Amino acid sequence: MTLKTVVSLLNGSKHHGVLFPPELLQRMDSLYAFYHQQWWCYRKMLNHFKCVNALFNGMALLLMAAGMIAGPLLDNSTLVACLAAVGTVVKGTNDFKQYRFKVTMSRFAFTTYAKALTELWISPLRYPNGVCKITTVTLCTNPWKRHAMWTDVLVP
């Protein structure tokens, strides 16, 4: 009979002296992998939405400012009207797509999953007597209410 060596993220140097059963390590590693994937995805979404929001706001501001500057210099009201219309369309597109709201929601999910990763990594240190707390996170699906439901399970 051969013994399997369990390789886990939680068998690191920070957790020496605390032995975990292989089933618990497998469960915690799968939770860690899931939360890390969610954290990474929401981090990328947050960066994308922040860039798109800044790009649209910058373009709208630049077009409006160009119309205000070019109008008096060239005495061409058609140019001012076109630049103002295009700037308004760009700003309206930004408002319609609600990139500011998407940035807020992505930031909330990104920080919540980061907290879950930290809690999952630190939880064995809180209970060194053999009892381990596994924390799972469920984010609210309603976009108008931002909250997370934390569930703790004590595993001997």
Flag whether 56 is in a domain: yes
Give the residue carrying structure tokens 């369990």: 6
Predicted confidence (pLDDT) at residue 72 exceeds the cutoff of 70: yes
* The pLDDT of residue 141: 53
How large is the average pLDDT for residues 80-88?
A: 89
Give the tokens for residue 14.
């920070």
Domain coverage including residue 85: 27-155
Flag whether 8 is in a domain: no
Q: How far apart are CA 148 and CA 140, in angstroms?
A: 6
Flag whether 5 is in a domain: no
Flag whether 2 is in a domain: no
* The pLDDT of residue 13: 39
What is the tally of structural domains in the chain? 1
How large is the C-alpha radius of gyration of the chain? 25
Q: How far apart are CA 40 and CA 37, in angstroms?
A: 5
Flag whether 135 is in a domain: yes
Nearest to 107 by CA among 152, 23, 42, 28: 42
Give pTM, 2 decimals: 0.66
Cα of 87 vs its chain's centroid, Å: 30
Q: By three-state DSSP, how is residue 134 classified?
A: strand
Residue 151 pLDDT grade (very low, low, confident, very high; cuts 50, 70, 90): low
Flag whether 36 is in a domain: yes
Flag whether 6 is in a domain: no
Nearest to 127 by CA among 4, 7, 10: 10
* The pLDDT of residue 31: 78
The chain-wide mean pLDDT, for the chain, equals 75
Partners of 148 in the β-ladder: 139
Among 6-10, 24-28, 52-56, name the one with the lowest average pLDDT: 6-10
Predicted confidence (pLDDT) at residue 64 exceeds the cutoff of 70: yes
Residue 150 pLDDT grade (very low, low, confident, very high; cuts 50, 70, 90): low
Predicted confidence (pLDDT) at residue 152 exceeds the cutoff of 90: no
Nearest to 139 by CA among 38, 70, 58, 59: 38
Flag whether 11 is in a domain: no
pLDDT per residue as tens digits for the range 95-129: 999 999 989 888 888 888 887 777 766 655 555 56
